[in-house]
Structure 1
Amino acid sequence: MTNVVRISVRNLVEYVYRSGSIESGFRTATTMTEGTRIHQLIQRGYREQDEKEVFVEAEIPVEEFVIRVDGRCDGLLKDGDFITIDEIKSTVNNLDEIQENTHPVHWAQAIFYGYIYAGDHDLSKVTIQLTYVQAKSLEQKQFRRVMTYKEMESFVYEVTRKYATFLKVKIKHKIERNKTSKALEFPFETYREGQRKLAGAVYKTIVDKKTLFASASTGIGKTISTIFPAIKAIGEGKLEKMFYLTAKTITRTEAEEAFRLLIDHGLDMKVLTITAKDKICFQEETMCTSIDCPFANGFYDRINGAVIDILENEKMMNRGVIELYARKHRVCPFEFSIELAYAVDAVICDYNYIFDPRVSLKRLMEEQKKKTAILVDEAHNLVDRAREMYSAEIHKSNFLQLKREFKKTSLGTAAKAINDHLLQVKKSEEYLRKDLDKELVELLETFIMEAEVELVKMDHELLLDTYFASQTFVKIAEIYNNQFVTYVDVQKSEVKLKLFCLDPSEQILKMGKGFKARVFFSATLKPADYYKDLLGGQSDDYVISIPSPFARENTEVIIQPLSTRYRDREKTMEPMIHFFKELLDKQEGNFLIFFPSYQYMRNAYEQFTDKYPKFSTIIQDVGMSEVEREEFLAEFNSERAERLIGFAVLGGIFSEGVDLKADRLQGVIVVGVGMPQIGFERNMMKDYFQSVGKNGFDYAYVYPGMNKVLQAGGRLIRSDSDTGVIALVDDRFLQRKYQELLPSEWLHYRVGM
């Protein structure tokens, strides 16, 4: 059987011809908007008989493969029987720096287009033309080569032969992957209650090319129940690739362990974990230039060899493995991971690699997406994370500083224009608006172009940071709609202008479009309609809810009806502390007590330890490192001589994704209903959702708060042998609204001690 592989001309030639170093934080020649504008400007100068954006496609046999390539030729210029292929490239650099052979990848792209067009139209020769345009001055520089069909054919076959080296590794692995995926059996003797139902729903979602919202209680084994059916779909030819998306390191580790277990059971699969750039960088400071970093210097000269080496020798490519091969081949470990993301079968990574328009894996072609599933773990976290991804802000002070530092330059003029504009915004006192400030966006586009000219020549931290903030602002401005609001925050002379995403649903839907299947799952997707609304759900999506597999008797639930509202906290502190003591005297073992804020937690901690010093206690600190987090959790040990009482924050690092199985944890106390602090942005969200027919207060405050409560309570029963007590401290837990949001297994509660 002949293996047909589809790839764009651009991706193919970039793979073969890329060379040189990673340079600074921006690698685009100019902004996307500017690049498109310049292309259109040149194309408007074409004559009537000329064509633009001409789609070309061809199948090229090479060894045991057929490579199907396609692309869009910028210009097809016609002079009678003479044809010129025009490839337009914009740059912020001086055109004097560009010589005929400066960019072999540009020639390669244009030659491919010439070869395909000449073959389709039986031409013996064509002219290949590169048109370089200086983004600011619009000055042009052109290079031309007349090439015969035979010359182009020889060139194309040489390029595709080099690409075939990589393909051989991929195809050989794919055969083994499909065989082992098909033969793979569930790695446990039996399914837990509800586990088969979840796995079946995930498989059906993939086969039917749908979206699934799955609320599956803690303890079902969600990780293996979503990964296993996706692998079986690969074995059945229904899927090619999967992304397992998580928000936290600990859930990433669980996914790695699930894949490792399946590999131990005979699966042959390439699995990559992407670690954040600042964590995996080998340098003390993350400076991505050939001068500052030996792993950036010459990166593209060595990356292809590094990719083939790791693919031939490894299945699990976690942080340690990536670092080992990155050092061996002297390549940046983060950029190495990004390259591998396109080559492996499964990627474990943060949400932003799929959903953030600024950092998403853009080389995933639509054809690949159609064969890819995304599995979104702890999907309740995506709502607020997406709001952050789709919001952007700029600060007047940055532009004022740059105006002063770069006065009498074009950059200084651009920075001054933005500073002046923000001053006018401040004077207008119109601090909340629905419409986008288009004038500001245009000023920022000019600033970005001027900043790129300077950043090519020099390192400047403030300029680089402001450049990125401006780019983000312009990018978010492109998707701005009625689900956004613009607001201005004035603090003395500082002016912050923010594009704030009130409702991320449309953007989540858009970024997830094109993938074969999307599975959003969590123990706490409740209420289902709320999460379906905010995660971009559609009326025909699948929804499933699976209750806890554990016996109700495993958990004792107590509601202590004390007010934890801000105004009552001082008054109810003493009876609350007394309740802790009563409960701890009655129930043995380690406890975690969760509070809605650091301040409330510290106050309770101080009073509790003063009054009851006999208890051994530990408290969560602000901004704990990963090592400190691990040390905190390690203290919850069943071998301890004396029990431990941990004080932690609701919605924080210890209230989600933490497994303290067996005797490590016997009790969880949740103080309050987890409601976010009442504030300006939350109130804007409340007003927005009220205006579109929802209960604004519930959407902005109640549902996000109760999710934190459910997550914290879920720390307790992690296996069918775990037992313990969950205590909910707040009188609102007895109200119908809040009771409806509790899991069914918590509704056999008793009130008070």
Structure 2
Amino acid sequence: MTTDVVRISVKNLVEYTLRSGDIDTRFVGTSRAVEGTRIHQKLQKAGGDKYLAEAQLKYEMNYKEFLFLVEGRADGIIIEDPQVVIDEIKTTAVPLERIDENFNPLHWAQAKCYGLIYGEQNDVEQLEIQLTYYNIDTDEIKRIRETVTLQELQTFFCGLLDIYLVWAKHLKEWNEMRDSSIKKLNFPFATYRQGQRELAVSVYKIISDNKKLFVQAPTGIGKTISTLFPAVKAMGENKTSKIFYLTAKTITRQVAEEAVNAMRECGLDFKSITITAKDKICFQEKAICNPDHCKYAKGHFDRVNDAIMDIFLKERAFTREVIEAYSREHMVCPFELSLDLSMWADCIICDYNYVFDPRVYLKRFFQTSQGDYTFLIDEAHNLVDRAREMFSAELTKSSFLKVKNLFKGHSIGKTLGKINTVMLGMRKECSEEGYYTQLQQPEEIYPLLWTFVNKAPALLTDNHKTEGYDALLELYFNVLIFLKMVELYDDHYITYVEKSSSEVTLKLFCLDPSKLLGEAVKRGKSSVFFSATLAPLDYFCEILGGETVDAKIAFPSPFKTENLCLLVADQISTKFKDRESSYGEIAHYIHLVIQQKTGNYLIFFPSYHYMQEVHHVFAELYPDTETMIQTNVMSEEERESFLDRFQPNRNRMLAGFCVLGGIFSEGIDLKGDKLLGTVIIGVGLPQICIERNLIMEHFKKKNELGYEYAYMYPGMNKVLQAAGRVIRSEEDKGVVLLIDARFSSYYYKKLFPAHWRYPKEVRNGSKLNALIQSFWDK
């Protein structure tokens, strides 16, 4: 009896066995993201009652030593009694007279696979396979049909499986080797830290039960290995088929790579891939993917399977460096290679986008049905605002006017002129505050946007680098993204229009991402959301798409509370109206903190302006103290140079002035004497703006926690992250001074983590001096 199971979608099977030629993303077919869906629906509706649209098909077939589980979704099945027609719809910008039955073998192959599945399951001995081509420029339709027998389809399908068997056998051998090593794998460190075993057990149980878990685990527990290790063990027990480790920052992706390597050093055979953004990994100066511009795009599909086989047989860790090396050797696109390799990896380390963003998520995994995947979502507090960005879209009047002026005399220019006129009308509706909102969608502009989308391909198809081409292409995709978000719009959204000088911005703004995030995690079977600052847990559980039945767990800090000197200077107000009068006093308090022990300190401010003003005063009062200051635009090299200055040095005082919620307030690891303390000015409230106020109003109506959800909780999260830079290991000791009167209020104290429960309040410099001196003298 066959026990080795191969799960694959029809699309992936066809592409991996039959693809060839170049990568060519010149305009032909790039509109399919949104417009293709719309055209599919239009043609499917026109088919009438006899047209079964979006038919889900699943098929099990024992073939040689494998059980193949193949699934897909046919665009249409037409019952023309007694004939059955399998319809595959393709949108194209290619003139229809250039399309014949030999135009694209992959189109036929996909439709034939659907025909086989339907024929086998319904005892249909003969079917019609139909390709329907829809030209997006002319709205013309061309249909090509071929009559095939079930036996012919069986022969064709087995031919595909014979090609794929090479891969299947390698995967079988690999999975046996991997699972054997997992069974022998022990935790890669000599002992568990406090809370670590409990966290690992909780993660394993959640994966086993196909559920969700929300974890607040302070720095020091070892969250990365405590989630990855049980996930790997669960994979060895066939409780999950693939692990997605999702992060917001490059540094946390590196930590995940190190955790996997630690398990490899203990005998684990495991393949992991780190997906790097296209613009970063592309070998060209500009990521233009066509054979005329890029030698790696030319013939890519003729060579990529050999590249995959080579790297799969030789490597365990598909890191950026490894992928780049094999891409150069085999002359293939590194980004496309990494996406293909993700199919063969056991663990995918990548940005949130690849699972959650409706514009770029990995359709090869998530388009057909739910997979038995595990999502490990690191630094999950960052996902709230990231999700709002992913699910929102905006258009600006100036972008339409610019392209209109570039295409005067063309019919598209008239359409753009009408859009510009509508947005001018919106401008007049704005209040004295410069904006207006509405709960309903701006439907009056949609027909014009669709007209633009229909006309643009004719100007883009030939890829002529005429003046205005890039501007038109950028606008075209922005409109497509906007129309994609229209499909998601519901009572979790609001429409707002903002005017600024001559500019008008129209935005579909996602106020509450919980519903869409909840739907996204259903693409897998289990999810673990974790962070050192996932507090309050109930808030994060709700806003990240959790449900009341989901598990929540909060761990205490594993470090000795006496190693942290937590002080609150609550006689100073840092509210906006009081800031100017606070510069000198804050500079004095900073100096009092850092003078007690020579070393490195970070000072965090709620804004760049506040930081710069206090820095100016501090530099004048204490010129002997070396300072650095964060700028609002820093290159990777400048960031590294800033952090490199934080080296243990008992002969030098260094104060780094930074912004709360910025690049230095989370994700950096300055252990030991690299950092002796932080001073945090203010409660971290996000800047007051239209969007924050809209969020506040939404949740005020929903649960009467508008201010908390929009301002207080996100602000306190930034404070906790910045304070978390100080104690990074059991040996670390350090000072955290919180400066703001609000920190002593009940509402903020209840947000303090357990190891912050008893902060010392200081109301004058001498008390601060004495407390810090006493702390360092212990």
TM-score scaled by structure 1?
0.95
What do you get for the CA RMSD once the two structures are aligned?
2.2
Using the TM superposition, give the Cα deviation of residue 121 of structure 1 relative to its aligned residue in structure 2, in angstroms: 5.4
In the alignment, which residue of structure 2 is the partner of 1:470?
Answer: 479
Q: Secondary structure at the match of 1:145?
A: strand
Q: Secondary structure at the match of 2:324?
A: helix
Alignment of 1:626-665 (within 5 A): 626-639=636-649, 641-665=651-675
Using the TM superposition, give the Cα deviation of residue 399 of structure 1 relative to its aligned residue in structure 2, in angstroms: 1.4
Alignment of 1:111-130 (within 5 A): 111-120=112-121, 125-130=126-131
1:516/1:176 CA distance change after superposition, 3 Å: same
Would the aligned equivalents of 2:564 and 2:727 in 1 still touch at CA under 8 Å?
yes
CA distance in 1, matches of 2:396, 2:109: 43
Would the aligned equivalents of 1:62 and 1:164 in 2 still touch at CA under 8 Å?
no
CA distance in 2, matches of 1:176, 1:367: 29
1:222/1:53 CA distance change after superposition, 3 Å: closer
Would the aligned equivalents of 1:84 and 1:129 in 2 still touch at CA under 8 Å?
yes
Alignment of 1:234-313 (within 5 A): 234-313=235-314
Alignment of 1:478-557 (within 5 A): 478-557=487-566
CA distance in 1, matches of 2:257, 2:653: 32
Structure 1 stretches lacking a partner, 5+ long: none
Using the TM superposition, give the Cα deviation of residue 4 of structure 1 relative to its aligned residue in structure 2, in angstroms: 2.2
Match for 2:490: what amino acid? N
Using the TM superposition, give the Cα deviation of residue 38 of structure 1 relative to its aligned residue in structure 2, in angstroms: 3.6
Match for 2:446: what amino acid? V
Q: More displaced, 212-221 or 458-467?
A: 458-467
In the alignment, which residue of structure 2 is the partner of 1:684?
Answer: 694
1:208/1:449 CA distance change after superposition, 3 Å: same
Alignment of 1:13-92 (within 5 A): 13-24=14-25, 28=29, 30-32=31-33, 34-43=35-44, 46=47, 53-76=54-77, 83-92=84-93
Structure 2 stretches lacking a partner, 5+ long: 763-767, 769-778
CA distance in 2, matches of 1:401, 1:424: 18
Q: More displaced, 21-30 or 546-555?
A: 21-30
In the alignment, which residue of structure 2 is the partner of 1:560?
Answer: 569
In the alignment, which residue of structure 2 is the partner of 1:449?
Answer: 454
1:192/1:56 CA distance change after superposition, 3 Å: closer
Would the aligned equivalents of 2:273 and 2:347 in 1 still touch at CA under 8 Å?
yes
Using the TM superposition, give the Cα deviation of residue 241 of structure 1 relative to its aligned residue in structure 2, in angstroms: 0.8
Match for 1:180: what amino acid? S
Using the TM superposition, give the Cα deviation of residue 53 of structure 1 relative to its aligned residue in structure 2, in angstroms: 4.9
Using the TM superposition, give the Cα deviation of residue 201 of structure 1 relative to its aligned residue in structure 2, in angstroms: 1.3
Q: More displaced, 388-397 or 489-498?
A: 489-498
CA distance in 2, matches of 1:463, 1:439: 22
In the alignment, which residue of structure 2 is the partner of 1:435?
Answer: 440
Alignment of 1:612-627 (within 5 A): 612-627=622-637
1:216/1:116 CA distance change after superposition, 3 Å: closer
CA distance in 2, matches of 1:56, 1:677: 50
In the alignment, which residue of structure 2 is the partner of 1:751?
Answer: 761
Would the aligned equivalents of 1:215 and 1:544 in 2 still touch at CA under 8 Å?
yes
Would the aligned equivalents of 1:177 and 1:267 in 2 still touch at CA under 8 Å?
yes
Using the TM superposition, give the Cα deviation of residue 651 of structure 1 relative to its aligned residue in structure 2, in angstroms: 0.6
1:36/1:349 CA distance change after superposition, 3 Å: closer
Q: Secondary structure at the match of 1:457?
A: coil
Q: Give a deviation string over 1:393-437, Cα, whole Å, max 9, x none.
A: 001122122223223434333323322221222234472111101
CA distance in 2, matches of 1:718, 1:245: 22
Alignment of 1:133-172 (within 5 A): 133-172=134-173
CA distance in 2, matches of 1:151, 1:412: 51
Give the share of equivalent positions with the same residue, in percent: 47
Using the TM superposition, give the Cα deviation of residue 547 of structure 1 relative to its aligned residue in structure 2, in angstroms: 0.7
CA distance in 2, matches of 1:633, 1:76: 61
Would the aligned equivalents of 2:536 and 2:751 in 1 still touch at CA under 8 Å?
yes
Q: Secondary structure at the match of 2:14?
A: helix
Q: Give a deviation string over 1:454-503, Cα, whole Å, max 9, x none.
A: 22212421111111211111111111111211111112332111111111
CA distance in 1, matches of 2:112, 2:593: 77
In the alignment, which residue of structure 2 is the partner of 1:8?
Answer: 9
1:492/1:593 CA distance change after superposition, 3 Å: closer
Match for 1:737: what amino acid? Y
Q: Give a deviation string over 1:229-284, Cα, whole Å, max 9, x none.
A: 11111112211111111111111111111111111111111111111222111111
CA distance in 1, matches of 2:38, 2:626: 66
Residue of 680, 684, 687 corresponding to 1:670? 680
Match for 2:523: what amino acid? G
1:39/1:598 CA distance change after superposition, 3 Å: closer
Using the TM superposition, give the Cα deviation of residue 171 of structure 1 relative to its aligned residue in structure 2, in angstroms: 1.8
Paired residues in the alignment total 753
Q: Give a deviation string over 1:197-250, Cα, whole Å, max 9, x none.
A: 111111111112111110011111111111111111111221111111111111
CA distance in 2, matches of 1:348, 1:47: 45
Q: Secondary structure at the match of 1:67?
A: strand
Q: More displaced, 637-646 or 256-265?
A: 637-646
TM-score scaled by structure 2?
0.92
CA distance in 2, matches of 1:658, 1:708: 14
Using the TM superposition, give the Cα deviation of residue 22 of structure 1 relative to its aligned residue in structure 2, in angstroms: 2.5
1:739/1:119 CA distance change after superposition, 3 Å: closer
CA distance in 1, matches of 2:54, 2:288: 37
Q: Give a deviation string over 1:625-647, Cα, whole Å, max 9, x none.
A: 22221221111111564232211
Match for 2:304: what amino acid? I
Q: More displaced, 351-360 or 395-404?
A: 395-404
Q: Secondary structure at the match of 2:364?
A: coil
